Amino acid sequence: MATTTLHPPIAQPYRRSALYEWITTTDHKKIGILYFINSFVFFFIGGLLALGVRAELAQPGLQFVNEDLYNQFFTIHASAMLFLFIIPIGAAFGNYVVPLMVGAPDMAFPRINALSFWMLPAAGILMMGGFLAVGGAAAEGWTSYPPLAGPAYSGTGTDLWLMAVTLIGTSSILTAINFLVTIFKMRAPGLTLFRLPIMVWTQIVTSVLTLLATPVLASALIMQFIDRNYGGNYFDPGNGGSVVLWQNVFWFYSHPAVYIMILPFMGIISEVLPVFSRKPLFGYRAFVFATVAIGALGFSVWAHHMFTTGQVFLPFFALFTFLIAVPTGVKMFNWIATLWRGQLVLKTPLLFAIGFLTMFLIGGLNGAFAAAVPVDFAIHDTYYVVAHLHYVLFGGSVFGVMAGIYYWFPKMTGRMLDETVGKIHWLLMFIGFNLAFFPQHQLGLVGMPRRIADYAADAGWGDLNLVSTVGAFLIAASTLPFLWNIFASLRAGEVAGDDPWEGNTLEWATSSPPPPYNFDHLPEIHSTRPVFDLRHGADAGSTH
């Protein structure tokens, strides 16, 4: 080799403000934290809107808002929670954790990563800006069905909503490309695909779903925008269009999207359970194949949202919907078998993970009922559906979010969250959640439709609605200990150290928080648990 002694130029740190640093950062960890902050801001806005909805429904009669404002509240509540909280916070975990888990210095395209993030606050402002527009925000539900969402019945708020969701979709697509290239091209030496943490596998499948489904949503949104603003006729039956066409293209995205909204959190649970059970994950390969199967089957079930239109082939979509229960069941048994005879460490992340398992199980079971066509005809558009979707999206995804926050917060900040406050948070949220949503099953079965602001006093729905509202406010109260916990920990939390939980995966092999570009050295990787191997010696057990 040449023996030139030319030293490479050494980058000198130069002073600039912290604000400038955060706005211009391309570091995946800082962008991840920005994602978290942005997601939680919209979680709280969406939560406040939900409180408005629940307050109005607590008693018969209109007490707080009129029907029009009520419609805006539930529409923007759902849109904010789905598009500005759950989907982005999945990307937040992915951004922070995936490059660390695969041993990469950053994402494959750091600047595109920053672009993806900055589209989200812009989209959020557009969507919320609807409340200031003439005619108010979008008010036709997050599904935006024409003709209700057509030019005749809705105003500027709907246009803003369409722009916002298109922007969020673009952001998701770019993020998905970034994740896939990072995972397939930048893994550390020795980290084969079947040694990847399950969290990374769920991000792969989520990204593929995003890549294939989200552009179809973009085309649907653009068709609706054209109908509304440029005199188009896509969804206008009077001029050759079709309203069911919207439902088809919309649900072609929005059913795979529910897996985009749950898989990252299944990934989090699959990291938390082994660490706090002191066992490897049961059935790693079965888990990977089940994840891929859920993703694939997810594209063949969209019309189960449209059973009552009478324009879909019912047996096909019902059969495939039931089939999805198979890989989901595989995962459920994997998780339970991981816990089985483990040495459980009942810290807050595990509590939230167990909350996920139990609540998601209920959400899965009541969903299977809805997949049966005759049952669906009875419960379509009732509160039963509201109960189902909250059991999977709140009981599943949000419990997963919290498990992930409590698990990785020490890695992100170098400080521990307080266990006692964390357990209070968990208990309040668990009780509040079940109070809020379990009664909605019964409300749906006795016929209460969703998306109504008022109901007759003699309908007999008052008591259960009141219980549900109390539960919603309890959920809101549970965020107070959460916020306090984060504030107190950042101020004077216990120092975490590199590996406070005795973790398995590569992020625990670097400092807390990790330095720029993440690793000075990587451990040799011979299994799915490189940091476990490092701690216990290479011959301590893991075989693949």
Please give the residue ranges that form the binding site for other proteins (CB under 8 A): 7-8, 10-11, 103, 105-106, 108-109, 173, 176-178, 180-181, 184-189, 211-220, 222-223, 226-227, 230-234, 236, 239-242, 245, 248-249, 252, 497-499, 502, 509, 516-517, 519, 521-524, 531, 533-535, 538
Q: Which is nearer to other proteins, 109 or 484 (CB)?
A: 109
- Minimum Å gap between C-beta 370 and other proteins is 26
Q: Which amino acid is residue 313, in one-letter code? A: F
Q: Which is nearer to other proteins, 364 or 503 (CB)?
A: 503
Q: Which is nearer to other proteins, 10 or 19 (CB)?
A: 10
Q: Which is nearer to other proteins, 408 or 508 (CB)?
A: 508
Q: Which is nearer to other proteins, 103 or 136 (CB)?
A: 103
| DSSP secondary structure letters along 316-348 | HHHHHHHHHHHHHHHHHHHHHHHHTT------H
- Minimum Å gap between C-beta 311 and other proteins is 11
- Minimum Å gap between C-beta 422 and other proteins is 21
Q: Which is nearer to other proteins, 226 or 325 (CB)?
A: 226
Contacts 24+ apart (CB under 8 A), 77-80: 77/46, 77/49, 77/50, 77/52, 77/53, 78/141, 78/142, 79/127, 79/138, 79/142, 79/161, 79/164, 79/165, 80/42, 80/43, 80/45, 80/46, 80/49, 80/124, 80/127, 80/128
- Three-state DSSP at 167 gives helix
Q: Which is nearer to other proteins, 536 or 544 (CB)?
A: 536
Q: Phi first, then psi: what are they for 415, rounded to 5°? A: -130, 150
Residue pair 396/265 in contact (Cβ under 8 Å)? The answer is: yes
- Minimum Å gap between C-beta 16 and other proteins is 19
- Three-state DSSP at 308 gives helix
Contacts 24+ apart (CB under 8 A), 372-376: 372/318, 373/307, 373/314, 373/318, 376/304, 376/307, 376/308
- Minimum Å gap between C-beta 190 and other proteins is 9
Compute the distance between CA of residue 498 and CA of residue 505 in angstroms, rounded to an integer: 12
Q: Which is nearer to other proteins, 129 or 147 (CB)?
A: 147
Residue 350, C-beta contacts closer than 8 angstroms, at least 6 positions apart: 272, 273, 276, 277, 344, 403
- Minimum Å gap between C-beta 336 and other proteins is 29
- Minimum Å gap between C-beta 24 and other proteins is 16
- Minimum Å gap between C-beta 88 and other proteins is 18
Q: Which is nearer to other proteins, 59 or 233 (CB)?
A: 233
Q: Which is nearer to other proteins, 56 or 507 (CB)?
A: 507
Compute the distance between CA of residue 37 and CA of residue 60 in angstroms, rounded to an integer: 37
- Minimum Å gap between C-beta 224 and other proteins is 11
| DSSP secondary structure letters along 373-426 | HHHHHHHTTBHHHHHHHHHHIIIIIIHHHHHHHHHHHHHHHSBPPPHHHHHHHH
Nearest to 473 by CA among 170, 137, 58, 121: 58
Q: Which amino acid is residue 144, in one-letter code? A: S
- Minimum Å gap between C-beta 456 and other proteins is 40
